[in-house]
A and B are shown apart, each in its own frame.
Chain A
Amino acid sequence: MREGSSYPSAARPAGAVRPAGKARRTQAAERAVEAVWRIEAARLIGRLARMVGGDLGLAEDMAQDALVIALERWPQSGVPENPGAWLMATAKNRAIDQLRRRRRLESKQEQLAHELPSAANEPADESVSEEEIEDDVLALMCVTCHPVLSTEARVALTLRMLGGLTTREIARAYLVSDATMSQRIVRAKRTLAEAQVPFELPEVSELGARIGSVCEVVYLVFNEGYAASGGEEWMRPELCREALRLGRILVGLTPAESEVHGLLALMEIQMSRFGARIGPAGEPVLLLDQDRTRWDRLLAGRGLAALARAQALARAAGEAIGPYALQAAIAACHARARTSAETDWERIAALYEALAQLAPSPVVELNRAVAVAMAFGPQAGLALVDALAAATPALRDYRLLPSVRGDLLARLGRHAEAHAELERAASLAHNARERRLLLDRAAACAWLSQ
């Protein structure tokens, strides 16, 4: 069953003995095949999906068939000069063979006459333009991120078809079993088939919204890696890197979309802080306490450049920048400050206010309160937090509220109250490391309130 497997490896008779050198070379060749797969998967599946009228399952099967053959042949023949073209030609030839075989077994002439043209009538050395392949990849992204799918399904399908990750790799990243992830992907493809989602670029009028859902999926993957929502580990860098790669690819496919540049800017800048988020004892370090010499200037620079592009595109369209670009602009304020003391908090507070207009949420309001407190004093920040709590009683169980409130109270010298809030925040924490951090801060307040 293809779905449950990672890369199907060339069958070896049990007990066969291989000389060490040859085994090493074969392993190296297999790794080379895997590397090619990661590079070519999206383009291959995209083109095949278009050829077979949008059946993702069939397209993926055809691509996997070609991969199996590559794993059998390339260890001996070496990686071909144009691996993408080789895989494509192989996939098409296999598909034509199978369709011809089916024609002999069944006599559904009309159905096959319908199916064959796109596969068989393209000349063998047809050169598809780069633009067409890019359209295929974008169409594939829009399909794997289709709103008819659950968020989970979109993430799984996107990582598999566009990321070229194996089911096992995705399962590990999301802390589920291979079987669970496999099922998720199978069901996702079935949902798309049942909803008859066409393999097409969305209409121009719809494209913005659909690209929005692609951005959502990419940022979900990034966040999953950046701040693990459960378990012991604080971060999973491979997911962040995968999201960054998908974001960069998306920018290449939709260079005129301001928010796509905004999303990339946000991820590049956040990723630039990755190396500073863990302390020497493995403890999480908050942004303001981070050793900024460990901030990656290369990524920060790329992020600032992407932000500039996002702002220029919005300006050219006579529009305000969107939520991703706004968040990136906030992250940029931190990136530009050499030390935390040099942070432009007033600007950050203003940016959060703009964000609250566009995409209001408790997180945004709380962050705004923190920025206001830094710019104008803890009392001003506390006023905002209390107003928020009063307006939305349900937030009492939202862990960030007592966390922020506790900090502000501590800064106002109200240590006993701060202690209570931080202990409450700790009880709501999502993972062990966060809980530890909050309990430590609570203990510090308890000590100060004696």
Chain B
Amino acid sequence: MRFMMIMLPNIPNVEEANWTPDAEAVAAMGKYNEELAKAGVLLALDGLQSPAEGARVSFAGGNASVTDGPFAEAKELIGGYWMIEAASKEEAVQWASRCPAADGDTIEVRRVYELADFPPEVQEAGRLSQEPPAQTSAS
């Protein structure tokens, strides 16, 4: 089963300066990421740049409106994610618990949808343009 671990850091007033972690934090996180990789569970990860440089697109009345960062009213900011392979939610939670996160940080653990999770009609609707070609001979 795939899980996404989403880092929600506790940074009350976001600026470029306080978004990027210090060398010590980077080293600790690097060690954790390596631990995930060596345990054979890490599939992918990314860190996101500061929300101050980002944008939010909001939808209302059928219209999209854009707000540039920083998002002063935002309750939660997203710092980055890991995608891991685990046999159970408990295992994913175990891994998340081992992250060298700072006080006030939260990691949300969510299971990733796989195509097989959907009923056949939904799978069919989601299928892109390709029709499987007629059975050919070579394997």
Residues of chain A lying within 8 A (CB to CB) of residue B87 = 35, 38, 238, 241
Of A34, A289, A298, which one neighbours B132 at CB under 8 angstroms? A289
Residues of chain B lying within 8 A (CB to CB) of residue A187 = none
Cβ of B137 and Cβ of A441 under 8 Å apart? yes
Residues of chain B lying within 8 A (CB to CB) of residue A249 = 38-40
Residues of chain B lying within 8 A (CB to CB) of residue A287 = 139
Which secondary structure dominates chain A's binding surface?
Answer: helix
Of A280, A292, A370, which one neighbours B120 at CB under 8 angstroms? A280
Cβ of B138 and Cβ of A373 under 8 Å apart? yes
Tell me the complex Cα distance, A291–B132, Å: 6
Cβ of A252 and Cβ of B133 under 8 Å apart? no
Q: How far is the CB of A253 from chain B (nearest CB, A)?
A: 8
Q: Assess whether A32 is interfacial by the CB under 8 Å rule.
A: yes
For chain B residues 27-42, which have a beta carbon within 8 Å of chain A?
Answer: 37-42
Of B40, B133, B138, which one neighbours A370 at CB under 8 angstroms? B138
The interface stretch among B18-26, B88-96, B101-109 is B88-96
Cβ of A298 and Cβ of B83 under 8 Å apart? yes
Tell me the complex Cα distance, A4–B1, Å: 27
For chain B residues 61-112, which have a beta carbon within 8 Å of chain A?
Answer: 83, 85-88, 90-91, 93-95, 97
Residue of A nearest to B2 (CB): A298
Q: Assess whether B135 is interfacial by the CB under 8 Å rule.
A: yes
Cβ of A275 and Cβ of B139 under 8 Å apart? no
Q: Assess whether A95 is interfacial by the CB under 8 Å rule.
A: no
Cβ of B38 and Cβ of A288 under 8 Å apart? no
For chain A residues 276-298, which have a beta carbon within 8 Å of chain B?
Answer: 279-280, 285-294, 298
Residue of A nearest to B87 (CB): A38
Tell me the complex Cα distance, A34–B127, Å: 37
Q: Assess whether A39 is interfacial by the CB under 8 Å rule.
A: yes
Task: Given A249-B38, A374-B138, A407-B138, decide whether A289 and B133 contact each other with a Cβ distance below 8 A.
Answer: yes
Interface string of A423-450 (1 = CB under 8 A from B): 0000000000000000011001000000
Cβ of B115 and Cβ of A340 under 8 Å apart? no
How many contacting A-B pairs (Cβ < 8 A)?
A: 101
For chain A residues 319-359, which have a beta carbon within 8 Å of chain B?
Answer: 339-340
Cβ of B88 and Cβ of A39 under 8 Å apart? no
Q: Assess whether B44 is interfacial by the CB under 8 Å rule.
A: yes
Residues of chain B lying within 8 A (CB to CB) of residue A286 = 135-136, 138-139
Interface size on A, residues (CB 8 A): 51
Q: Assess whether B58 is interfacial by the CB under 8 Å rule.
A: no
Residues of chain B lying within 8 A (CB to CB) of residue A339 = 130
B interface residues, Cβ below 8 angstroms from A: 37-44, 83, 85-88, 90-91, 93-95, 97, 114-116, 120, 127-128, 130, 132-133, 135-139
- The 22 listed contacts between A and B (C-beta, < 8 Å) are A39-B91, A39-B94, A39-B95, A241-B85, A245-B39, A245-B40, A248-B42, A252-B39, A252-B40, A253-B38, A275-B115, A280-B120, A286-B136, A286-B138, A289-B133, A290-B132, A292-B130, A374-B138, A404-B139, A407-B137, A408-B137, A441-B137
A interface residues, Cβ below 8 angstroms from B: 28, 31-32, 34-36, 38-39, 79, 83, 134, 238, 241, 244-249, 252-253, 275, 279-280, 285-294, 298-299, 302, 339-340, 370, 373-374, 403-404, 407-408, 410-411, 440-441, 444
Closest 6 CB pairs of A and B: A248-B40, A252-B38, A407-B137, A245-B40, A35-B91, A35-B90
